[in-house]
Amino acid sequence: MTVRRRKQMCLAVRLPGAGSATAYAGPRATYAGPRGKSPLALPAFEHLARTAERGRFDFLFLSGGPRPEPVTVLSALAAVTERVGLAATVDATRTEPYDLARRLATLDHLSGGRAAWHVATSRDQADRYGRATELVATAQELWDTWTPDGVSRPFAHRGAHFDIAGEFGVPRSPQGHPVVIHAGDSDECREFAASTADVLLGRHGSPEAGRAFYADVKRRLATYGRAPDDLKIMAGVTVVLGDTATGARERELSVRRSVSGAGGGHFLVGTPESVAAELDALVRDDAADGFVLLPYLAPGGLDEFVDRVVPLLQERGAFRTEYTGATLRSHLGLHAPAGKG
């Protein structure tokens, strides 16, 4: 190792939305019972959010809606957590920039600067990346109409997709711009992330494929005048732990049966020690800046990782032992947006 400061990994967890196999395979049994106890009720999410925060995770990420509606769930979770980032999936092919910007700025205020949005696009939409790019840029224009001192200026935006004007109704939020997350690995997706996103969620295949993906995306940033650290690349992984390697393999078989169809990334299977070593190596070898865990047995699935793997990552100096800042941008080591003065 060189003497340079140890690279810190980012960690996040994806909370299952309604309709995903992850949401139903476990909680149906865990939360059996009538109304008020469905997997959509707050306790299921609350447990995962508190566990993520106990593990000092950067953020949690609520996958595709429309049900439950992500910003509404995350606003409630902001009341039961203090530091962990809160990322909402937004369908960029249907959302109007004014309403979206207002709801995200509200979430950023309500959470003290912990809001993020995962910009999702539909495959069947013509020019989906064109609209998504303009949606993000327009939302940021709206946020920039307020100075940090609370002065608002009118805006007028005319582009290929949106032609809007008026005044934005929410003062500048703690982060200025909520964090932009994108997911995928196509060429268009990499380009969009390089130009616009703060975090790119990739799918982790082999370490070699991860390194190639990482290098390719980071190289694209320069085109947009951005530094390699301006975009964090996080790989989706499902971690299956066992006390022994054999025990872990046996659990993996039953997990794969129960989550078939859930999709969700590469399986990392082994003892806490071997999994921690593997995650650490992937970050050190520039295959990823961090990981998004896809817990296979919500809502209990994250506890084991936080209790058994996170301490090992911390011992290695690969992951924070305490939050040092209040906002998600600070957790991720991202610059504050410049804003237009």
Would you tell me which residues interact with another protein (CB under 8 A)? 18, 34-36, 38-42, 46, 65-69, 71-73, 75-76, 78-80, 94-96, 98-99, 102-103, 105-107, 109-110, 112, 152, 162-167, 169-171, 173
CB of 256 to another protein, least distance (A): 25
CB of 292 to another protein, least distance (A): 23
**Non-local CB neighbours of 260 within 8 Å, separated by 6+ positions:** 21
Q: Which C-beta is closer to another protein: that of 45 or that of 213?
A: 45
CB of 55 to another protein, least distance (A): 21
- HEC string of 288-327? CCEEEECCCCCCCHHHHHHHHCHHHHHHCCCCCCCCCCCC
Q: Which C-beta is closer to another protein: that of 165 or that of 338?
A: 165
Give dist(CA 218, CA 40) in Å, integer.
37
Q: If 0-12 CB within 10 Å is exposed, 13-18 middle and 19+ buried, where does residue 309 land?
A: buried
Q: Which C-beta is closer to another protein: that of 41 or that of 221?
A: 41
Q: Which C-beta is closer to another protein: that of 70 or that of 202?
A: 70
CB of 72 to another protein, least distance (A): 4
CB of 117 to another protein, least distance (A): 13
Burial 230-259 (b: 16+ CB within 10 A, else e): bbbbbbbbbbbbbeeeeebeeebeebeeeb
Q: Which C-beta is closer to another protein: that of 54 or that of 109?
A: 109
Give dist(CA 173, CA 271) in Å, integer.
42
